[in-house]
Each structure stands twice: as C-alpha cells, then as structure tokens.
Structure 1
C-alpha cells in the first residue's frame, strides 16, 4: 500500500488510463499539485498511456477497480451489475482512502461517484471535478449522473456550461461550487501559419472517434469542398472507445465510398498533438453532442490555427472573445464546409486573427493559474471538514487566486 507523505494527501480517482480531455486535465492538475507540495496518489482501473506520465509528474499510482456509471446501467441487467460492483468494490475503495490517510479525494468526472461515499465513510473531504455537460440525456440518466454530487464536500466545474447543466442549486446555496478554467500547456512557441494556401487546404480533427463527436461530418465536408472545386485534405487524429470499433469501420467505408482515400487519413491516437495541429491550416470541432467546454478549440488556437466548430453548449463558451473561432450550424456537413470555405477565402485576415488569439488563450488558460485554483478548491474543502469534525486538523488554505472559468469531456 502507498504510504502518505508529510503534508496534505489527495487521492485522485480517474475512471481509466486514457489520454483525452478529462484525463489530460487531471494530469495537468497532478503536475501543479505536486509542485505546490501535495502528496498525490492516483487510482485507475486499468493501465494505459496516462500511467507513466502520472509517475513522471510525481504521483503514486494504485490500480483498483471501481464502479463506473455507464448507459447500460439504465437497463435492468446493467443496473444489477452496477449494484453488484458497488457492493464488492466500495469497501476496498474506503480502505484505500483510510490507509492513505487522505485529506481529500478528488473524483475526476461524474461517472465514478461512489468514491464520494468511500471518502465520506473514511472521514475525508471530497471534490468532484465535473467535465460533462450533456443536456440531451434523458431525465433518469441525468439524475443518475448528477444526483451523487450531493455527496461531495464541493464541486469544481470546468465551465459555466457544465455548472448550468448539472443543476447544482443545492451546492450553490452552500457556496461549494467553483468554476475553474482548464489550464493548458500549449506549445513552447506557436509557429505562424503559412502565408499562402498553396496546394490543398489542410484540415485536422483531433479527438475521440464517435458519432457524437461528428467525425463523419468532417469527412462529408471534405467531399462537399471537392464538389465545389476546392482542394482540401483531412487528418483524423484519435481512436475509439472499446465497443465503438464499428464506428471506425464505418468511417473507413465512408472514405472509400466517397473515393477520398488520397484526401482523408486516419492517423490514430497521438500522445502529443502540437506538431500535427501546427502542420494544418485549420482545425474542426464538429461535435453533435454537447460539450462542457472545448479543449481542442483552445489547443488549435494555441497553435495559432483558426477553428471551425459547432455552435452549441461549451464550444460557444470556449470561443467567446476569440476572433479566429468560426461557429457553424450543428450536425451540418454543409455548414462545416461553408465555414472552411470562409476561412480559406479570408485567409490573410484569419491567419492574423489566429495569431492574436494564440496570446489570448495562453493567458486565459494559464497552467499556473489552473494549478493554484485547483489547489485552493481542494484545501478549502479540507478546511471545511476540519471545522466540522472534532479532532481533525484543518488544512491551511493556499493564497487566493484570481477566479477563472470551465470544459467538456474532452477531446
């Protein structure tokens, strides 16, 4: 068992070892918390690309299965499996919190809420970091995801969008909800986009391959551009969740059916995206489903590249005040193609706007500010618990940081 170091200990519960939006934000948070003197332990149910990066950042890692709320839990068989997992796994989770003498448990995403009960029973404070804002979920599904927030000592939202969708009025009344903008460590120095669009327009998509992310819309938009006599190519960066392999097959079949094999490439998951985004002229974020924020939009602009994105939810929030973020109708390949055409036709101006936006987003999403705000939010909840619990030492809070504002579930 991992022993607690001197000072404050935070146990961070993460549902997997992937490297997408919420995982990357958690990794960035770990870097900052370690630098600020926290002892950080991260628990994951499996191994994957995130694990060596966590260890390199100074965190201890414990592998432990934990119940995860999935859509299947809304069906009778899935609910039975979830109840069985809760009964068998929660005692182990509680023992880990107690053995570590964790001061606070941070639950990364709303899909693993039973860590909150484990923290409470072990006498630790708890904070949920919410990266989701799916307003189109059915009422039972949304209740299943958001009702457990009541168990938390506090909640950190990554955007005003996720704060609004969660319906956290009871937390607001108790002043236990905070909005903390994602901290994103961009490239050391953005490289200017090419001056002239000689040859094809280079388009990039970065993110999960899933229907709700609208990857097929990006492929169709390239086909629309070709039909309009505009030469364009698309790199698709990312892979599928387990169980969604059928969608990748559909994408490949679509590319073949449209005879776009020489124009659309599926390049798979890439741990670092800065080089591939910088090699493009413009990024697309065609999500059909709600996004709590829009990391990919911000990452593209950190590379000084314009972005064409769906006009809804957190993507609208993320693009606020930015000149080179073009919002287009949701679920529309035609709209996406028109947005790309507009960027191409006004290239000189869009290139300059993206360069200005690069500096804006670097300031707005400073990792240092994110680290301080996250640390403050955790320390604040420990202080509350110490004040309420006789015999428990209240942690001193960090110095106050400038209020920031929140993200979606990721790339």
Structure 2
C-alpha cells in the first residue's frame, strides 16, 4: 500500500474518553502510523484515550484547545473561549515547532483552532467532521466558511453528514469516508449474564451511548415500558456515563424508570470499557437517537458482534443497517411503532441470528478496517 505523503501530523481532538469520536480518532492514528506517518496528538484533558494513544507510540500533549461547546454561547463564555484560543494557538505553535509538523488534523468540529493555526503557518489542514449540527444558521455558515477557506480537505463519516454540509455550502470539497474498525469478538467464558446473575435464557435488549438528551435514553425507556407490558422475560441494558454538564439527566432517567415501574427490568451499567463483551451478551441492540447520529460507532460494533440492530431512521443509520436484512429502522418519535417493530426479534431467535450473521457480512464488505485504511490513504495523498 502506498504510504501517506504527509508524514508529520498533529492531530487535535477535543475529548479523552473512549466513545465514538475518540474511537474514530484512534483508528485514524493507527492507519496513519501504519502508513509511515509521524503522529502527535493534542487533547484537552487526560483520560482513557491517552493510554491507548501512548500504546501506539505516539506523543500526547494535554493543552487548552478552545473547544466549541454550546455552554459557551454567551458573553461570559465568549470571553472564556477568546482567552483559551490565544493559549491554544501558542501551544500549537510550540508543539508544531518541536515536532516539525507539516499537517494539522482536526478530529471533529469541536476543535477550530487547528483551522486558524494551519492557515497562519501555511500548513496543510485536514478536518474530519463527525457531526450533523442542527444550528443555529450563523454557526453552520461559520463552520462552512472555515471548511471552505481554512481546510485543504474535509472528511465526513457518512452521506448524511455530506448532504447536511453541502446544503449549507454546495462549494465544499467533501470526501465521504466510512469508519472501519478491526473488531475482535469477545471469546472469553465470562458473560454479562454471569456477571449479573441472570439465567442463560434471559433476553437482553441494550443500548450503548453517552448520556445526552439527543442520544435517546428516555426514548429507549419509553420503548422498554411498552415491551415489558407484552413480554416478561426481558432485561434492558443501558451503558454510558453522562457528557460533562449533563449529569442532571441521570435524575430524569431515574424518574422515568420509577414512573414506568421499570426498576426490576432496567440495568444501568454506566461507563464501561468492555463494550465488545457486553455486545456479545446482548440479543438485540437498539440505537434510539432522537437527533440524526452521523455514523454511530456502536452500530458497527453491534453488527460486527453478530447482533441485529434496531435504529432510528435518520442520520447515518440507514446507510449502515440494511433494512429487513441486518435489522430494522424505527421512527425517532413514536415508541408504539418502535416497540411493534421489535416484536418479531423478541419472538424469533432464528431471525435474530440470521440478521446478526448478515450484519457481520455487511461490516466486512462495507465498513472494514482495510477499506477504511485504503480510502484514508488515498484522501491524504490527494491534498
């Protein structure tokens, strides 16, 4: 395989967790390293992602990145970001000089300083966009302007993301790059049922996502309440901790669980790192996002683990789930229809297994690590 032409890359990423965006960044680092690049990574905080990056023999710098968050969309927040921006630029300059960087790689729209710094220093800038931002319009137009004039290449993770940004500015030069993961199925003797003390015939329906209003935890519980009324041998598994600043959502979810008498049916595991093991133990995986999820990593992971996927019908999910073959698509705002859609999967074990098998085939055909690697190298060599 041809190596990437640009060999000294500074990647900027706004978080240090191990959720979807961080996993995408981690896979990107692996590919760049495997193809002859020297990669330095700048993060805004310490966390589990740091250990993973260091294991790839990549330097990690913890610096202010002036991350864009909605909580800063006020006068006090703007002053805060202005100070952080100046500090971030100084730190990027220090790192770039120290490591002789020729390319800035911004992973997610949460980091904008890379665009300004690369423009100022006449470095190449790649922007890997993982988001479908609903608005406001001024913010969309500002991002589109930066993508057009401050980036040499814009990579998006799905056709849904590409379509979204082209509606903002049709002149954007966008490359669609599906994520691809090398996933080793969990093969140990332990299982989630053993951990929780559940019988082997206990049906497990689960979702994995950071706790956030748009990720659909409350919608998942609404669906669970309806399914519980019809079926009694089901447990509903929720995995994920709260995004900083949204911890209050835990109290809301607990209230929903109490109001719907789901205390004995719902198992909240919180933050976990053994995602493959959990997915291997599930019978059905549900992605209940109520806003368009660009290309949810957990769907790929569930399919790779041979699980049928039920996902809301927007964002990147319709590109991932082959309708009626690897899973089902449900409305994002009608729990009754969603619950009825899941009925056949609950009642027919062979249907679950067949959809799971076809999901594994689809991951290998469309979302493989090899394809991701080849396409990323081609994109990087085009700038």
TM over 0.5: yes
1:103-142 matched pairs, under 5 angstroms: 103-134=102-133, 136-142=134-140
Alignment of 1:265-276 (within 5 A): 265-276=267-278
For the residue of structure 2 that corresponds to 1:208, the secondary structure is: coil
1:357-389 deviation line (CA, Å, top 9, x unaligned): 2122123212122123223322332xxxxxxxx
The CA distance in 2 between the partners of 1:89 and 1:99, in whole Å, is 15
1:146 corresponding residue in structure 2: 144
What is residue 206 of structure 1 aligned with on the other side? 208
1:83 is displaced (CA, Å) by 2.4
The C-alpha deviation readout for 1:163-191, integer Å capped at 9, x for no partner, is 1111253233xxxx211110112224789
**Structure 1: distance between partners of 2:30 and 2:324:** 28
Deviations 1:100-125 (A, max 9, x none): 22121110001111211112222310
| Residue of structure 2 equivalent to 1:408 | none
Confirm or deny: 8 A CA contact 1:42 1:61 kept in the other structure. yes
User: What are the within-5 Å matches in structure 2 for residues 234-313 of structure 1?
Assistant: 234-313=236-315
Q: 2:18 touches 2:49 (CA, 8 Å); kept in 1?
A: yes
In structure 2, do the counterparts of structure 1 residues 145 and 69 end up closer, same or farther at CA, with 3 Å as the change threshold?
farther
The alpha-carbon deviation at position 201 of structure 1 amounts to 2.6
Q: 1:98 aligns to what?
A: 97
- Counterpart Cα distance in 1 of 2:172 and 2:331: 34
SS at match of 1:171: coil
- Is the Cα–Cα contact under 8 Å of residues 95 and 122 in structure 1 kept in the other structure? no
Change in 2 beyond 3 A, CA 1:232/1:189: closer
Residue 365 of structure 1 is matched in structure 2 by 367
Kindly state the Cα deviation for residue 256 of structure 1 after the two structures are TM-superposed.
2.7
- Provide the C-alpha distance between the structure 1 equivalents of 2:8 and 2:232, rounded to a whole number of angstroms: 56
> Which structure's relative contact order is higher, taking Cα pairs within 8 Å and 6+ residues apart?
1
Match of 1:221 in 2: 223
Q: For 1:263 and 1:144, how far apart are their aligned partners in 2? A: 45
Q: How many residues align?
A: 366
**How far is the alpha carbon of 1:200 from its aligned partner?**
4.0
Q: How does 1:28-177 map to 2 (within 5 A)?
A: 28-134=27-133, 136-150=134-148, 151-167=150-166, 168-172=169-173, 177=174
Q: Distance in 1 between matches of 2:62 and 2:119?
A: 21
Q: Is the 8 A contact 1:159 1:179 kept in 2?
A: yes
* Residue 184 (str. 1) matches residue 181 (str. 2): yes
> Given that residues 287 and 330 in structure 1 are in contact (C-alpha distance below 8 angstroms), is that contact kept between their aligned partners in structure 2?
yes
2:16 and 2:50 in contact (8 A); partners too: yes
Contact 1:210 1:240 in 2 (8 A): yes
Question: Which residue matches 1:378?
Answer: 380
Once the two structures are overlaid, the 10-residue window that deviates more, 102-111 or 159-168, is: 159-168
Residue 242 of structure 2 aligns to a residue whose secondary structure is coil
TM-superposition CA deviations, 1:108-147 (whole Å, max 9, x none): 001111211112222310100010113x322123234433
Match of 1:394 in 2: none
Question: What is the TM-score with the length of structure 1 in the denominator?
Answer: 0.83
In the superposition, the TM-score normalised over structure 2's length comes to 0.89
Cα RMSD of the aligned pairs, angstroms, is 2.2
